[in-house]
């Protein structure tokens, strides 16, 4: 039995004994899962290539007791979660193209009309949701989604990631329109990204995947800031390129690009202590990363990576520390580790679990658990990230999206499945 298998078996025994309430024991960092939607595997996360075991900083949140409650059920591949400020209800996107409004108290699910037509194939469809920071004074709700060229205001063939906005007047989203189209279009249904979040200055950050470009060299789309694939976009609330973007005055680059060299970022969150934007992205096979996003930063894909080539134990590229022209991740899962295919992340700042304040929570897909990371320091070069014991690792759930309920501090998780629940983690 592997270390991870033994640990999970022990945790399941604890869960049975406590009737489903998890008492998290102190243990070393555990990872797992293949890149994207690959096969499960075990592995140890690493911070800059070092183990997070005996030298890890003490964990004050390792003995928190929690229970899991089902809020609502019957969602088809839910992808994004966002609470409405001052309202308390929860917006939920489903990848086939549905948008719903959930009452957390009663579990009532109300369909919201007015969502866009989407390209719901492969990894595409209706993806993330974000609410304007001035809601309800500004009632705009933003959706990221994949759309085919015939359903897009831009020219092209194939499909690409879109950002759209409409006014939410429940039960309808009115006046919805695309405000940004990440070009170019590609004839593939893979690697759309895509997360959306507002930064502390009111700018809208959106991640776009590399659309599974396999030109693994300097000509890869992610290494070319003249296009908007494999990049983080920084937009105004109207969808225009932010005027302070790093390439705003470069005629050979897209003025919407804030950072580039990304593969497929499916998690993004703002760290309250610093206002910095953090992302988690998928590696090829293993090589999953947690990054602090810096203005104009090149994050290396695919000329620098910690991943293997699919189906091998061969490194795909030199590591980030072997190049001086890329930004290294603050935490990664190296080739051969089993990886941490991520989706959805949030920094915990609620009142329900004081011991977890400041921790980063990120969902993992193939490894089927909710990761918790303690963070010390700031910035891409100084942050010290340690993965702690996993949550919900007895449930066999793919974790797709995470949100914190403002009024209670409860953690909400959308499970990725054709017939899925949205659940919440509450104090035991």
pLDDT tens by residue, 278-330: 999 999 999 999 999 999 999 999 999 999 999 999 999 999 999 999 999 99
Specify the pLDDT at position 155. 87
Name which of 419, 405, 411, 425 is nearest 89 in CA terms.
Answer: 405
pLDDT at 57 exceeding the cut of 90: no
What's the rounded Cα separation, in Å, for the pair 125 and 122? 8
pTM of the complete model: 0.89
Cβ atoms of 168 and 152 within 8 Å: the answer is no
Find the range with the poorest average confidence among 18-27, 52-61, 90-99, 170-179.
Answer: 18-27
132 assigned to active site? no
pLDDT tens by residue, 387-423: 999 999 999 999 999 999 999 999 999 999 999 999 9
Cβ atoms of 259 and 295 within 8 Å: the answer is yes
Q: Which of 7, 132, 191, 282 is catalytic?
A: 191
Specify the pLDDT at position 55. 65
Contacts of 190 (CB under 8 A, 6+ apart): 122, 123, 209, 211, 212
pLDDT at 53 exceeding the cut of 50: no
Contacts of 262 (CB under 8 A, 6+ apart): 207, 208, 209, 210, 222, 230, 231, 232, 279, 281, 299, 301
What's the rounded Cα separation, in Å, for the pair 346 and 278? 9
pLDDT tens by residue, 252-284: 999 999 999 999 999 999 999 999 999 999 999
Contacts of 107 (CB under 8 A, 6+ apart): 70, 71, 72
pLDDT tens by residue, 152-165: 999 889 999 999 99
């Amino acid at each position: 039995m592997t270390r991870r298998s033994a640990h999970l078996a022990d945790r399941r025994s604890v869960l049975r004994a406590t009737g489903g309430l998890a008492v998290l024991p102190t243990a070393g960092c555990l990872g797992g899962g293949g890149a994207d939607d690959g096969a499960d595997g075990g592995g140890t996360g690493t911070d800059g290539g070092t183990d997070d075991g005996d030298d890890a900083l003490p964990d004050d949140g390792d003995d928190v007791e929690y229970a899991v409650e089902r809020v609502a059920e019957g969602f088809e591949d839910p992808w994004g979660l966002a609470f409405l400020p001052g309202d308390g209800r929860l917006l939920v996107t489903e990848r086939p193209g549905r948008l719903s409004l959930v009452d957390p108290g009663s579990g009532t699910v109300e369909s919201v009309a007015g969502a866009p037509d989407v390209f719901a194939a492969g990894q595409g469809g209706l993806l993330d949701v974000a609410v304007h920071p001035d809601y309800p004074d500004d009632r705009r709700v933003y959706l990221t989604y994949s759309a085919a060229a015939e359903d897009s205001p831009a020219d092209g063939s194939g499909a690409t990631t879109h950002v759209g906005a409409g006014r939410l007047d429940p039960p309808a989203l009115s006046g919805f329109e695309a405000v940004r189209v990440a070009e170019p279009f590609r004839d593939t249904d893979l690697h759309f990204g895509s997360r959306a979040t507002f930064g502390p200055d009111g700018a809208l950050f959106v991640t776009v995947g590399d659309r599974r470009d396999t030109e693994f060299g300097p000509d890869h789309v992610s290494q070319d800031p003249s296009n908007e694939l494999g990049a983080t976009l920084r937009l105004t609330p109207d969808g225009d390129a932010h005027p302070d973007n790093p390439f705003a005055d470069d005629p050979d680059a897209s003025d919407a690009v804030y950072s580039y060299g990304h593969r497929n970022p499916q998690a993004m969150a703002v760290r309250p202590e610093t206002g910095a934007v953090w992302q988690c992205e998928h590696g090829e096979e293993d090589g999953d990363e947690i990054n602090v996003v810096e203005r104009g930063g090149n994050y290396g894909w695919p000329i620098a990576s910690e991943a293997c080539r699919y189906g091998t134990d061969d490194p795909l590229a030199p590591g980030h520390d072997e190049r001086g022209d890329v930004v290294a991740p603050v935490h990664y899962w190296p080739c051969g580790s089993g990886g941490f295919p991520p989706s959805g992340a949030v920094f915990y700042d609620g009142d329900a679990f004081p011991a977890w304040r400041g921790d980063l929570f990120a969902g993992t897909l193939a490894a089927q658990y909710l990761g918790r990371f303690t963070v010390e320091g700031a910035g891409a070069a100084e942050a010290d990230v340690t993965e702690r014991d996993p949550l919900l690792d007895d449930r066999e759930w793919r974790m797709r999206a995470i949100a914190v309920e403002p009024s209670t501090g409860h953690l909400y998780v959308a499970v990725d499945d054709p017939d899925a629940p949205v659940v919440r983690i509450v104090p035991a």
